[in-house]
Amino acid sequence: MLYETLLNLHSYWAYLVLLIVILSTGNALFKSVSSAEYSAKDFRISLFALIVSHIQLLIGFVLYFTTPRFELWSELGGGVMGDAIARLYLVEHPLVNIIAIALITIGYSKHKKKLTSKAKFKILSIFYSLALLLLLSRIPWNTWLN
């Protein structure tokens, strides 16, 4: 019961994360190109992306250790790497998404130290775009869209 609830929460929260990270990345890219001034709204958008992604990470950590798939580590050991689906759920998805959220965190932190709007948007554009690409690359699309 807990597992199914967490799985549904993780899946539906992912839509929000993806939407907000796309919005934040698009905002940073657009305003970087258009030389717009950095405003409180831009700060809130990037902060909201940081917050929702970290919540998703926490849900993911709990889900990872409660999933029945976790037992495959003891059953298969290193054989997990030879099973494409087990590798996706137990290695690739968690590791790449942790890296993506780390990039969001680093980008958010670094942009606050910049003094000009252009520099702030450039940092956000780079780090949030990389994070978005990583997030999109490791979504289990066949399961997620069903």
Model confidence pLDDT, tens digit, residues 22-55: 999 999 999 999 989 999 999 999 999 999 999 9
Residue type, 59: I
Q: What is the mean pLDDT of residues 79-101?
A: 88
Q: What is the pTM for the complete model shown?
A: 0.90
pLDDT tier, 74 (very low <50, low <70, confident <90, very high otherwise): low
- The answer to the question of residue 69 being in a domain is yes
How confident is the model at residue 146, as a pLDDT? 67
- The answer to the question of residue 146 being in a domain is no
- The answer to the question of residue 22 being in a domain is yes
How confident is the model at residue 24, as a pLDDT? 97
C-alpha 128/C-alpha 124 separation (Å) is 6
Indicate the number of domains in the chain.
1
Question: Which domain does 51 fall in, by range?
Answer: 2-141
Q: Note whether 126 and 26 are within 8 A (CB).
A: no
Looking at 43-57, 69-83, 94-108, which range is the least confident one? Answer: 69-83
Chain mean pLDDT for the chain: 90
3-state SS track over 14-37: HHHHHHHHHHHHHHHHHHHHHCCC
C-alpha 21/C-alpha 46 separation (Å) is 8
How confident is the model at residue 39, as a pLDDT? 94
User: Does 68 score more than 80 pLDDT?
Assistant: no
How confident is the model at residue 85, as a pLDDT? 82
How confident is the model at residue 87, as a pLDDT? 84
pLDDT tier, 118 (very low <50, low <70, confident <90, very high otherwise): very high
